Structure 1
Amino acid sequence: MTRYARLTLAAMALALGASVAQAQETIRIGMVLEPPGLDPTAGAAAAIREVTYANIFEGLTRFGPDGAVLPGLARDWDISEDGTEYTFHLARGVTFHDGAPMTAADVVFSLDRARGEGSTNAQKQLFAVIDTVEAVDDHTVRVTLSQPDGAFLFNMAWGDAVILSPDSAATNATDPVGTGPFRLVRWAQGDRIELERNPDYWGTPVALERVTFRFISDPNAAYAAMMAGDIDAFPNFPAPETLAQFEADPRFAVIVGSTEGETILAMNHRHAALSDIRVRQAIAHAINRQDIIDGAMFGNGTPIGTHFAPHHPDYVDLTDLSPHDPDAARALLADAGHEGLSLRLALPPPAYARRGGEIVAAQLRAVGIQTQISNVEWAQWLEQVFTGHDFDLTIISHTEPMDINIYARPDYYFGYDSAEFQALMAEVTATTDPEARSALHARAQRHIAEDFVNAFLFQLPKTGVADARIEGLWENAPVPANDLTAVRWRD
């Protein structure tokens, strides 16, 4: 071999090695929905947290992949004997992405902003129990509650409770500035979001140098992108009918777990007919959950009869309260005087909604309820349905953890107003004993099931596909997130 040939081969090997090393420091993540903004404290869309949770923004506490509450920006804390005072000890040397130091004053600002009169936080109730927030010194914060709250540390782990800087809070929707291990590089709207490793991160350095989130809503396009190697991982894969093909291909790993996503046929209680429990009960009896799971999710999903995750130890199976019974549905509609009822059904982009909506419409038609289906984009759903309350029925998966308390909010999008349930939720908040909380959770589940507030369909599974060489992706989703802090490529 000539010296020139040896040098050429050596150069090629070096280039190949550099290419592989570069590839192992980057990852391309597929997502079905594009977030409407990147401020998790000012929007309800789960897609916001799928990009930002633990990656860009951090809170005092955080969720681990098993749902456990772990230290975040607060490395430890003390709780008073009466359970009303939390003293958080903050991590040292934390800076925001713009270089500003993170101190106790930022925690005070963030929590006061979230609970303030003009708050736009989608989960403002998380902070309702807070009485005062004080900076003891730069690295110590004292939070005093108006009453004990057994879920306070859990609530502080939500993506809505992250710590912001007052200097950048107003522009976080388009230019997010957090304390996390990744920072925003570029957002090409309609296509992708690019992050890079934060070299000044205060915590354990992440393995990935660069992350790209690609938005692919069409199931066929998602399948093609994975097969072609254009995407490295799709944690919430929208084409479950193709999972068997990926399982048979050694290049891929299929990751099936659970989520906090209660998928419901939500009913607008402001509608005259839907304010009648007999009509809501009729709709619930018209639904065949298993047909929806088989037809829309290709068998993936767990039937639910209330708004609670089946994997939670306090879950009560109440599906027997609303079995598929078309004859009972017709009789209830006749008794209520609503035979020939016509309702609008708004369907957001996810496949579970679009595919499931067609099945639901057929099931309702079989008992005499006609539906006018409108397929709406995500931003339109948020504006029209969630904020504007301009809908009759909609299918949506609620992916926030332990969120049964939304039924205690009369101004929430489905408009359920029950003083009894609101009092029950207040009792849950004030209770710290685990056994007593479990009993209250059971009562709460039964209350909304017996009131037929919504038609409860199934628990959304987490079906993901990834390059088999990737490790560290979450199997389950205790919160809607693509936490990349432990993700790496195997050597």
Structure 2
Amino acid sequence: MQRVSRLLALTLLTGILAAVPLPASAEKVIRVGLWSGPGTLSPINADSSYGYFVVHFIFDTLVEMEPDLTFAPRLARSWEISKDGRTYTFHLDPKATWHDGKPVTASDVAFTIRTIATPGVQTNRGNAIKAIQGLDETGKMTGNAIQGVRVIDPHTIAITTRTAVDPARFLEQLGTGVFIIPEHLLKGLTPQQLSRAPALLNPTVGSGPFQFVRYVQDQYIELKRYDRYYRGPARVDRILVRIAGAPSIAAALINGEIDVVAGPGIGEVPLQDWEMVKRAPNLRPVTAPSLGYQFIAINSTRPYLKDDRVRQALARGVDLKLLVQQLYRGEAIPAVGPFSPVTPYINKSLQPIPYDPAGARRLLSEAGWDFSRTLQLLVPTGNTLREQSASIIQATLQAAGVQVQIQRLDFATLLSRVFKHDYDLALLGWTDTFDPDHVSSTFRTGGQYNLGGYSDPEVDAIIDQAAREQDPARRKELYDRLQVLFQQKVPAIFLYYPNMLAAVSKRLVNADPGIVPFEFYAARWDVADGPASR
């Protein structure tokens, strides 16, 4: 009876999905469930992973990452690396076209890099291009031209880095992290005009396997196949990305209203519904360790949170084992830092910071903490487990002498406040790249996603040295040192690495979510039994 009641309650929550258009009977359609709607779909400045999930279908990158973490051709059908390890020469596929029929050229690639690098342009792709000669650590131009970008012919471009870097780092950051944009639609626009450009905000002209049709706010995004796609047309006619909040995802899967969830951090099955989904005869459960982590951002620009001892006390006041045991039932492990166990860069000699409320109180006393102060913890709504974890965190911190008030906000509002540093603590999740240089944007001074405003010269020096290092073994040593420093200085409180909990309809082929974004391979997705049944 309890299971039936639960399913009925979930079914009632999926009513919004009825507004999504039904496919024509002869069409192959795949419906993907996303927890939250994207704010924007700009390929250079989507406001979240929700937006970039959709961007992947519409815009192509130079290369793609395969599930075995090797790199395969995309717009670049081949490439060479110079003997000194600095110059990457990419040869574009001459058959590639924009959705309006114009050819994709090396000039488009150079234009994309130059646009991202132009001061004043609103973009979050700076970290992906910052290694290029002529750009600073934020990915912006240091002069009037970018010395490291040279168009050789319409389908060949040479890109030179400031120093030799690990090829895996460069190919992941620039090769898979920069979506090429159409110069012929955007050339000559000022940074202010670019921020409002229809070609970026209403992206009907991309180069990917699917074309943008429409976005009905907080309901669905509709995409259709681009039949002239240079790698061959996709196997399905349309993709509907449905906005289905976490509470309704399970019912939508079981009822056949969605065929697959979007994957780690943006569309998963809530843990409380996992057993029910695993028993559903029409579904195939898919689980794997996550590339991301959950954490508490600490606003280090607040005077009372600047002291390392205060942040160390906060970390010791959070019971990680309790969080994992009570909430995740074995589907997560306590975190030791910002590198996932699925990457080779995690420091295996470290243990999670232990729960030690008495030690936390001593550190706070040494730092002159005002025990009457109340810290505000911002919590985004929509992720049930994250919301539940906030109450546990509040209780364990209070046992350590830290008073905490929880404020729940929608994700967009919370993110706006965090970027303005208008907060004390914020509960967030993060999904990183496989290459460890992602910490340069999240914890280096001035990093684009340094949400806590953290700044430490020793941390900066190690991050910079590791970014310049070509030898993976030497890079590993440097990142091991960095993780030790993070446990001492606590730029953020790393909570746990959750497993991905996903599910896919048994009628789908080649469409299983994974650690590597499966939307990269959307052109290969297929429906085994022909047209959609709903």
TM-score, normalised to structure 2, is 0.83
Question: Helix, strand or coil for the counterpart of 1:51?
Answer: helix
The equivalent of 1:25 in structure 2 is 28
Report the Cα offset of residue 187 of structure 1: 0.6
The worse-fitting range, judged by mean Cα deviation, of 295-304 and 422-431 is 295-304
- 1: CA distance, partners of 2:495 / 2:518: 19
- 1: CA distance, partners of 2:349 / 2:121: 36
The equivalent of 1:154 in structure 2 is 172
Cα 1:223–1:475 change in 2 (3 A) is closer
Cα 1:103–1:227 change in 2 (3 A) is same
The equivalent of 2:156 in structure 1 is 140
- On the 8 A contact 2:254/2:283 being kept in 1, the answer is no
Instruction: Give the 5 Å matches for 1:288-299.
Output: 288-299=319-330
The equivalent of 1:207 in structure 2 is 235
Letter in 2 for 1:346: L
- 2: CA distance, partners of 1:383 / 1:217: 21
Say whether residues 1:38 and 2:66 are aligned partners.
no
Question: Helix, strand or coil for the counterpart of 2:227?
Answer: coil
- 2: CA distance, partners of 1:409 / 1:113: 23
- 1: CA distance, partners of 2:219 / 2:521: 20
Report the Cα offset of residue 124 of structure 1: 0.9
Question: Helix, strand or coil for the counterpart of 1:264?
Answer: strand
Cα 1:467–1:163 change in 2 (3 A) is same
1:223-246 deviation line (CA, Å, top 9, x unaligned)? 222222211112432411111122
- 1: CA distance, partners of 2:460 / 2:286: 38
Identity of aligned residues (%): 28
- On the 8 A contact 1:285/1:324 being kept in 2, the answer is yes
1:65-102 deviation line (CA, Å, top 9, x unaligned)? 34332222111111111111111111111111122211
1:330-385 deviation line (CA, Å, top 9, x unaligned)? 22122222123311111123334322212211211221212221211122122211
- 1: CA distance, partners of 2:403 / 2:303: 16
The worse-fitting range, judged by mean Cα deviation, of 169-178 and 124-133 is 169-178
Report the Cα offset of residue 291 of structure 1: 2.1
Instruction: Give the 5 Å matches for 1:27-426.
Output: 27-53=30-56, 55-131=57-133, 132-150=148-166, 151-159=169-177, 161-169=178-186, 170-171=197-198, 172-219=200-247, 221-234=248-261, 235=263, 236-317=267-348, 320=351, 322-338=353-369, 339-349=371-381, 350-385=383-418, 387-401=419-433, 402=436, 403-405=438-440, 406-410=442-446, 412-426=450-464
Report the Cα offset of residue 191 of structure 1: 0.5
Cα 1:33–1:280 change in 2 (3 A) is same
Cα 1:418–1:320 change in 2 (3 A) is same
1:94-146 deviation line (CA, Å, top 9, x unaligned)? 11112221101000000111222223222412212212211100000011221
Cα 1:487–1:438 change in 2 (3 A) is same
Report the Cα offset of residue 317 of structure 1: 3.6
1:393-449 deviation line (CA, Å, top 9, x unaligned)? 111111131322221133522111112222212211211112112212212222222
Letter in 2 for 1:381: L
- 2: CA distance, partners of 1:63 / 1:303: 28
- On the 8 A contact 2:259/2:505 being kept in 1, the answer is yes
- On the 8 A contact 1:61/1:157 being kept in 2, the answer is yes
For structure 2, which runs of at least 5 residues remain unmatched after alignment? 1-21, 134-147, 187-196, 530-534
Cα 1:33–1:480 change in 2 (3 A) is farther
Report the Cα offset of residue 189 of structure 1: 0.6
Report the Cα offset of residue 471 of structure 1: 2.5
For structure 1, which runs of at least 5 residues remain unmatched after alignment? 1-18
Letter in 2 for 1:26: V
- 2: CA distance, partners of 1:298 / 1:207: 38
- 2: CA distance, partners of 1:315 / 1:365: 31
Root mean square deviation of aligned Cα: 2.1
1:432-484 deviation line (CA, Å, top 9, x unaligned)? 11211221221222222221111111113211122122222244223585742
Letter in 1 for 2:126: K
TM-score, normalised to structure 1, is 0.90
Cα 1:22–1:420 change in 2 (3 A) is farther
Letter in 2 for 1:122: N
The equivalent of 1:3 in structure 2 is none
Q: Number of paired residues?
A: 469
- 1: CA distance, partners of 2:406 / 2:420: 18
Question: Helix, strand or coil for the counterpart of 1:315?
Answer: coil
Letter in 2 for 1:410: G
- 2: CA distance, partners of 1:305 / 1:407: 15
Letter in 1 for 2:384: A
Letter in 2 for 1:394: A
The equivalent of 1:457 in structure 2 is 495
- On the 8 A contact 1:306/1:319 being kept in 2, the answer is no
Question: Which one of the candidate residues 461, 468, 478 is aligned to 1:440?
Answer: 478
